[in-house]
Amino acid sequence: MIRIGILGDIGSGKSYVAKNFGYPVFNADLVVGELYKKNKKIFNKLKKVLSKYIYSFPINKDEISEAILANKFNLKKIVNIVHLEVRKEMNIFLKKNKNKKVVILDVPLLLENKINNEKDILVFVDAKKSDILKRLKKRNNFNQQLFDKFKEIQLPVDYKKKKSQFIIKNNFTNKSVKKKIEKILKKLNK
């Protein structure tokens, strides 16, 4: 099985690119959303370390946001708790798809939380900063302060780019992304 990890800046279109590969995708953001809705264990752990902010189940994303904005250490606490479960869910996904030729890992903190292994093929999604900002500002829940906090815990974009075997320039057109993905898959299947 070839594991392809998708890297890139926040809002660069990683999930969009991941879906376009046409193979099973592990989308960590969706998994986190489900964990907040259904996982009482995560709720209890977060409530214990962030009792001033987390008080309702299912976990309300506004409570998470408030905790992150209140104190820069809260984001690390949240990540430490949530990523353990994300890793477990990813392992279940990998077992379930063990007979697939390729799987895609769309995990925002893939390198930061050392979720990848050295055999993973890393694909960096590169997009213009101006395009990214335009797209982010269109999101209903965009918050510049939260965005800045998340940027603080991420490795520099240039580092991720250097670690990647492939770079996809995302100009947010379907045709160009699909063409680049085809090239990558061709090289991997040689």
Domain that holds residue 34: 2-188
Q: CA distances (Å), 179 to each of 68, 160, 188, in order?
A: 39, 22, 15
Q: Is the pLDDT of residue 172 over 80?
A: no
Task: State how many domains the chain has.
Answer: 1
pLDDT in tens, 27-67: 999 999 999 999 999 999 999 999 999 988 999 888 998 99
Measured between alpha carbons, how far is 79 from 70 in angstroms, rounded to an integer? 15
Domain containing residue 96: CATH number: 3.40.50.300
Provide long-range contacts, Cβ within 8 A and 24+ apart, for 146-151. Answer: 146/65, 146/68, 146/69, 147/10, 149/68, 149/69, 149/72, 149/75, 150/10, 150/75, 151/10
Residue 127's pLDDT is 87
pLDDT score recorded for residue 175:
80
**Predicted local confidence at residue 190, as pLDDT:** 60
Q: State residue 22's pLDDT score.
A: 94
For residues 135 and 3, which has the higher predicted lDDT (pLDDT)?
3
